[in-house]
Amino acid sequence: MSQNIYDQQDFFEKYSELPRSVKGLDGAPEWPHLQSFLPDLTGLRVLDLGCGFGWFVRWAKEHGAETVHGVDISQNMLDRARGMTEDGKHDGITYQRADLDELRLPEGDRGSYDVVFSSLAFHYLEHLPELVGKVHGALKPKGRLVFSVEHPIFTAPSTQGMQVNPETGRKYWPLDDYQKEGLRVTNWLANGVRKQHRTLATYINILLSAGFELTDFHEWHPSPEELAEHPSWDTEIVKPTFLLIGATKK
């Protein structure tokens, strides 16, 4: 079972203040690149795993998707997502509260989706191989899985946090335990946030084993223009935080 940190009040309140919570997709610097992995959604059936406030669910509907089904573990987030769905403009949107580690999709959904999307949710899951197998079953042939996770270089260290070399003044990321997969407990927004570290090889092999072809792969970093506008993003040059992947059902 996954931790439902988003229904813990202190975490939820701080999360709600992040740019990606306030501004939606435009507040997520990696979104333009992730979006480039998506097909034209016109007339497609879309599933969003870990939909949060529903920013992508609404965006997909507004960009022509026929139906969009959003799944999230957090009642707080689904309540707010439902509150932002305007009648008429968002017909065809459905929401489901579920732990992705124990997801059950309706039997009728088998082989029915064109696109499965997930933003920064999979690294919370203990049973990702099982979920990716369910996603493969839920997709039509040649269907697309497009997702982001926290990068394994980011999730690996026993103690996460950028360091500065006192002699050179240079920032570095003290990587360790890369090959020790499993639970990491971090203090991001709240104490005791539970994540699952997996290596890059494990992410890729979960996809290949399930029957996907890897088609898109990006380790997000700011462009020179973005870096000039947001100097603090220089930490993304030191080490990547976001891993973006696109795959096609074979």
Start-end of H helices in 29-107: 31-35, 55-62, 75-83
Looking at the Cβ atoms of 63 and 218, the one nearer to a copy of itself is: 218
User: Minimum distance between the CB of residue 159 and a copy of itself, rounded to whole angstroms?
Assistant: 8
Angle, nearest 10°, between helix axes 200-210 and 128-138?
A: 40
Question: What is the rounded CA–CA span in Å between residue 134 and residue 157?
Answer: 30
Closest Cα to residue 39, out of 150, 142, 149, 110? Answer: 142
Decide whether 91 or 176 has the Cβ nearer to a copy of itself: 176
Minimum distance between the CB of residue 248 and a copy of itself, rounded to whole angstroms?
Answer: 10
Please state the closest distance from residue 216 (CB atom) to a copy of itself, in A: 8
- 10 Å Cβ neighbour count for 30? 23
Quick one: 22 or 185, whose CB is closer to a copy of itself? 185
- Report the interface residues with a copy of itself, using CB under 8 A: 153, 157-158, 163, 165, 170-180, 199-201, 204-205, 208, 213-219, 221, 236-240
Nearer to a copy of itself, 47 or 244 (CB): 244
Q: What angle do CA 249, 209, 43 make, to 5 degrees?
A: 15
Minimal distance, residue 176 CB to a copy of itself, in Å: 4
Comparing CB distances to a copy of itself, the nearer of 12 and 212 is: 212
CB of 68 to a copy of itself, least distance (A): 28
Q: Is 12 helix (H, G, I), strand (E, B) or coil?
A: helix
In the complex with a copy of itself, which residue's Cβ is closer, 91 or 234? 234
- Nearest-angstrom CA–CA distance, 148 and 38: 12
Asked if 113 and 138 touch (Cβ cutoff 8 Å), the reply is yes
Cα 133 to Cα 139: distance, rounded to the nearest angstrom: 10
> Is 153:175 a contact under the CB 8 Å cutoff?
yes
Q: What is the DSSP letter of 183?
A: E
